[in-house]
Chain A
Amino acid sequence: MRANCWYGKTSVSVEEVPDPQILNQRDAIVKISSTAICGSDLHLYNGFIPTMQKGDILGHEFMGEVVEVGREVTNLSVGDRVVVPFPIACGSCFFCKEQLFSLCENTNPNAWMAEKAFGHAGAGIFGYSHLTGGYAGGQAEYARVPFADVNPIKVPEYLSDEQVLFLSDIFPTGYMGAEMCDITPGDTIAIWGCGPVGQFSIRSAFLLGAERVIAIDQVPERLQMAEEGGAETINYEEQNVYEALMEMTGGRGPDACIDDVGMEAHAPGLIFAYDRVKQAMMLETDRPHALREAIMCCRNGGIISVIGVYGGFIDKFPIGSVMQRGLTIKTGQAHVQKYMKPLLQMIENGDIDPTFVVTHRMSLDDAPKAYDMFKNKKDNCIKVVLKPDWNGNGSVKDDSYTVVH
């Protein structure tokens, strides 16, 4: 089959690799109909996540049709249309029972690596370095899905791929970012980063009862999409974020702040140069500008929700501000399995249509071009969906798949 493989910093290539096979009796094989590039894939693409190996298949947002199931998978049949969550959960460990699926204790066979880096290991993740298990990813024609009796969710035929694909990651991730804010009616939520996850956080915050959402970014088309979602916006290239937020909230600050940016934050001026140099010299692994700013801006006793991906160490972390002002920090990779059903219900109810975020549809074969476009925000690119069957024998169901713009 064809698959998009990692070969080094900013180097990916679509290669012919063996088809996946059932290895355990709780596996299923899924023929992928749609797969997306995630903002966190750019951390791999940019070489910031260690333990990548040449030939690793990327991609953790995918869906498709079940073509084979292991003996012990009784709740799925060949032909079922499913969306696959990015963290792999076993369903029976302490954390899975607590619905903390991304912290599953059993699905990362390379847990020892993660223990060395983080003290403890979380769940295995598709196509996301050997540190998270070394599973082949979903930017491919087929994927082996372990614990298929626990993980994938069946989706109804009448919803299009693009309506349900983002249940695999960015919708639940953005939603959990907002949910961690414990929103009560009347709350003002500030959101750093208007990438795809940030876009879903904006809409989720409103769905959860926020009265005001203030979104922060510098890319005009992303700010425009945020405004279309009902947010007020701050362009950090043009305005001082702290001053703007204080002005908007009477000097108190937002009730909760979401970091939808993570380890590769951009910022104007010297502080960005400082972090970029330290990162390049391996003195810190992550550039935490957005997180620092969110802490300083949050109101006393407020919540900092960190859903953007961090992988290592940061410095100049304002712990004094956190402690003196009684802030609560909540974090985590999304427990996707917990959110898939209720969020699918919201899609079916018409509360939200996730297709708004898609700006580009391309063939899987164009993955290298798509990564470059997404990384460099060319052609106003916000979210790319890749279709393995793009140039196939007309098997793409929806004939509306043409490049937008």
Chain B
Amino acid sequence: MYRNEESEPLDLGDAASISEFELEASGSRGANYAVERARPGLPSTSAKRLAKGLGWFSIGLGLAELLAPRAIASISGVSNKHTGLIRLYGLREIAAGVTICAQEKPTEGVWSRVIGDVLDLTSLGIAASNPEAKLGRVAFATANVLAVTALDVICAMQLSSGSNHGIHAQGTCIVNLPPEEVYSFWRNFQNLPRFMRHLDSVVDMGDGRSRWKAKGPAGMEVEWDATIIADVPNEVITWRSLEGSDVDNAGAVRFQRATGGRGTIIKVNIEYNPIGGVLGATVAKLFGEEPEQQLDDDLRRFKQVMEVGEVVVSDATLLGTGYMAQRPGQPASSQELESAEMLPSETATNYGSEGRYTER
């Protein structure tokens, strides 16, 4: 499958761009479907929600530092001669927390937390050189501060980047059917979980709205409502998640008649704010969850479902097609089949004993 590594602006469409889509569809194929305009970007609810969490954390920690500086000193393994300084840091935390919770878009508040983190780390460094310090506890406290610092930096960066573009993935495939059939299968969103591995269900709520349920990282259940922004039959569908989604996302799928009536070229662009931000996405990549690869795999299964009516599985790919998921090319036991995620649901219950033909 062809994949363009360069991410191009994702046009989600509005009245103006729909007419451009129509122009494209009727006119030359020279220009790219995605019109070169500023991306409208994603609703930034997930970064804001993370910021709110950090705000409340600030207030909690600040109160503890202000009211129980000795306990904090003991937990952190530092000398309890510095209770004054700890109380001062407590006030700083509370101020940052209140700022974050009060702001609609708390970019400054979260950056102030980052500065605070640097102060905390410096102080811990100085404390560690004090002979009275308990080094194990100081190290533990430092690790905790470092973890929070990472979250603060990611959140602040997400809030700062004005465009708030998340992960972008782009994929394409060609299906040996006319655009009318391919479009109407896709437009019926209930069909999408048949080939999109991470989707559990899509329910059409009417009025261009739909409710999506998906598997997130580490088995998390995530859910969002989406609305169709542009829908030109047999040519393009674009959608965007609504405020309050677990995963902010937007996407566009375009259908283009291949030359000589040789089927339909499908081009998909999706953009989303990954759960756990950029860090989460990086960790997910380490576990083989690479967005472009996932989209390619989904599109390959889409082609299979369209052309042959089922997702094609081999013995090696029963647990997924990724490198890590490969099992040997030999029949799976009934137990393995139960957990096979690639099988159509109507067959998934049929497994009898694994020695159905031969004695084992």
B303-329 at interface with A (beta carbon < 8 Å): 303-304, 307-318, 321, 326-329
Q: Does B9 contact A (CB under 8 A)?
A: no
Check B355–A21 contact: CB distance below 8 A: no
A97 (CB) vs chain B CBs: closest residue = B176
Check A92–B176 contact: CB distance below 8 A: yes
Q: Does B352 contact A (CB under 8 A)?
A: yes
Check A137–B321 contact: CB distance below 8 A: no
A55-B328, A92-B307, A141-B358 are known contacts. Are A124 and B314 too (CB-CB below 8 A)? yes
Query: CA of A67 to CA of B355 in the docked complex: distance in angstroms?
Result: 14
CB-defined interface of B330-341 with A at 8 Å, one 1/0 digit per residue? 111110010000
Q: Which of A128-136, A255-263, A267-275 contacts B (4 or more CB under 8 A)?
A: A128-136
Q: Which of B188-196, B208-216, B293-301 contacts A (4 or more CB under 8 A)?
A: B293-301
Query: CA of A2 to CA of B360 in the docked complex: distance in angstroms?
Result: 10
Check A17–B330 contact: CB distance below 8 A: yes
Check B347–A135 contact: CB distance below 8 A: no
Chain A residues near B263 (CB-CB < 8 A):
94
A1-B357, A94-B176, A106-B307 are known contacts. Are A21 and B312 too (CB-CB below 8 A)? no
Closest beta carbon of chain B to A219's beta carbon, Å: 31
Closest beta carbon of chain B to A324's beta carbon, Å: 34
Query: CA of A105 to CA of B343 in the docked complex: distance in angstroms?
Result: 19
Most buried by A among B293, B315, B333, B351: B315
Check B329–A137 contact: CB distance below 8 A: yes
Q: Does A93 contact B (CB under 8 A)?
A: yes
A109-B317, A110-B317, A110-B321 are known contacts. Are A94 and B262 too (CB-CB below 8 A)? yes
Q: Does B354 contact A (CB under 8 A)?
A: yes
From A5, A54, A93, A142, contact of B357 by CB (8 A): A142
Chain A residues near B313 (CB-CB < 8 A):
23-24, 109
Q: Does B350 contact A (CB under 8 A)?
A: yes
Closest beta carbon of chain B to A275's beta carbon, Å: 30
Q: What's the A-B contact tally at a CB cutoff of 8 Å? A: 152
Check A109–B308 contact: CB distance below 8 A: no
Check B304–A19 contact: CB distance below 8 A: no
A67 (CB) vs chain B CBs: closest residue = B357
Check B317–A93 contact: CB distance below 8 A: no
Closest beta carbon of chain A to B308's beta carbon, Å: 5
Closest beta carbon of chain A to B173's beta carbon, Å: 9
Q: Does B344 contact A (CB under 8 A)?
A: yes
Query: CA of A91 to CA of B310 in the docked complex: distance in angstroms?
Result: 13
Check A25–B347 contact: CB distance below 8 A: yes
Chain B residues near A18 (CB-CB < 8 A):
330-334, 354-355, 360
Q: Does B356 contact A (CB under 8 A)?
A: yes
Chain B residues near A24 (CB-CB < 8 A):
310-313, 343-344, 347
Chain A residues near B334 (CB-CB < 8 A):
18, 21
Chain B residues near A97 (CB-CB < 8 A):
176
B357 (CB) vs chain A CBs: closest residue = A19
CB-defined interface of A12-41 with B at 8 Å, one 1/0 digit per residue? 000011111111111001010000000000
Most buried by B among A94, A124, A144: A94
Query: CA of A112 to CA of B343 in the docked complex: distance in angstroms?
Result: 19
Check A134–B316 contact: CB distance below 8 A: yes
Closest beta carbon of chain A to B170's beta carbon, Å: 16
From B297, B329, B347, B358, contact of A134 by CB (8 A): B329
Check A90–B307 contact: CB distance below 8 A: yes
A26-B310, A133-B314 are known contacts. Are A21 and B330 too (CB-CB below 8 A)? no
Q: Does B220 contact A (CB under 8 A)?
A: no
Check B321–A112 contact: CB distance below 8 A: yes
Q: Does A127 contact B (CB under 8 A)?
A: yes
Q: Does A57 contact B (CB under 8 A)?
A: yes
Q: Does B16 contact A (CB under 8 A)?
A: no
Q: Does A115 contact B (CB under 8 A)?
A: yes
Check B303–A106 contact: CB distance below 8 A: yes
Check A90–B358 contact: CB distance below 8 A: no
Give 13 A-B pairs besides A135-B315, A141-B358 with Cβ atoms closer than 8 angstroms: A21-B331, A24-B312, A26-B308, A26-B310, A57-B328, A57-B330, A93-B176, A94-B176, A94-B263, A127-B329, A130-B316, A134-B314, A146-B314
A-B contact pairs, 7 of them (CB 8 A): A20-B331, A24-B310, A25-B346, A109-B321, A110-B316, A111-B300, A136-B330
Which residues from chain B sit less than 8 Å from chain A, CB to CB?
A: 1, 174, 176, 262-263, 293, 296-297, 300, 303-304, 307-318, 321, 326-334, 337, 342-344, 346-347, 350-352, 354-358, 360
Closest 3 CB pairs of A and B: A134-B316, A55-B328, A18-B354
